[in-house]
Amino acid sequence: MTSVLTREIEKLKKMVLALSAMAEKSLEKGFRALETRDQDLAQQVIEEDIIIDEMEVELEEEGLKILALHQPVAIDLRFIVAVLRINSELERIGDLAVNLSERASFLSSDEWRQNIPKIPEEISSMAKKAREMVHQSLDALVNMDPALARQVLEADDVVDAMNSELFQLFYVLIKEAPENVEGLIHLLSASRHLERIADHATNVAEDVIYMVTGEIVRHQAEDFS
């Protein structure tokens, strides 16, 4: 017979998977809004963020209720603690999708389409890599796959290097066209948001490893490079 605790944990798993899907969808839209400078799509991401916030609060309340009522131990306790941490990371990914959309909204004006007609390819490459990391970390969560989660840890150094290269690129672009500094700073902020998204994907991957194996790998990411 299935215990009450087992049913509650299964409900919690469904809630975190639903939030994962919502956060990833928001991120995909945010990336697309930035690359295409689609103001309507950017506004849609901003407005839908309240749904992610509400889901995050509901999941946290559910997890805390399980802890209080059932006092789980061992694997069950580890699972709930990891889910609560992942819950927070997903909400932050949603917030960063909003930040990307705000940059897209600013750059959608005719002025910036004329002054900066194309988003640098380096940002598109970084966005693709960060999105891939998020997708892999969530796949690792769905499949309880620590090996895939470790691949996400390895990829974080790649995104960090991309971010450093972009900083140097924008330094050159601002020197060459100081009149475009405002728009370029928004693009530089977008690269920073992408780097933070990759960090949150890494955190999710670390929590998946903890959830499945009990191993704490925070502050040890360099071991996987």
Residue with tokens 């890494």: 202
Q: How far apart are CA 79 and CA 214, in angstroms?
A: 9
Q: How does residue 1 score in pLDDT terms, banded at 50, 70 and 90?
A: very low
Residue indicated by tokens 């920073």:
192
If you average pLDDT over residues 59-63, what whole number do you get? 97
Instruction: Give how many domains the chain has, as a whole number.
Output: 1
Identify the CATH number of the domain in which residue 24 sits: 1.20.58.220
| Structural domain that includes position 114 | 4-224
pLDDT at 224: 45
Q: Which of 78-87, 110-119, 156-165, 184-193 has the lowest mean pLDDT?
A: 110-119
The first and second tokens of residue 169, run together, are 């690129």
Instruction: Please state the rounded mean pLDDT for residues 64-76.
Output: 92
Select from 89, 91, 62, 81 the least CA-distant residue to 216.
81
**Residue 162 identity (one-letter amino acid):** M
| Burial bucket for residue 142 (CB in 10 Å: 0-12, 13-18, 19+) | middle
pLDDT tier at 56 (50, 70, 90 boundaries)? very high
What's the pLDDT at 122? Answer: 92
The pLDDT of 49-74, averaged and rounded, is: 95
Helix and strand numbers (H, E) in the chain are 7, 0
Task: Using CB atoms within 10 Å of the CB of residue 85, give its burial: 0 to 12 exposed, 13 to 18 middle, 19+ buried.
Answer: middle
Torsion angle defined by CA atoms of residues 5, 210, 28 and 173, in that order, rounded to the nearest 10 degrees? 150
Q: What is the pTM for the complete model shown?
A: 0.91
pLDDT, averaged across the chain:
93
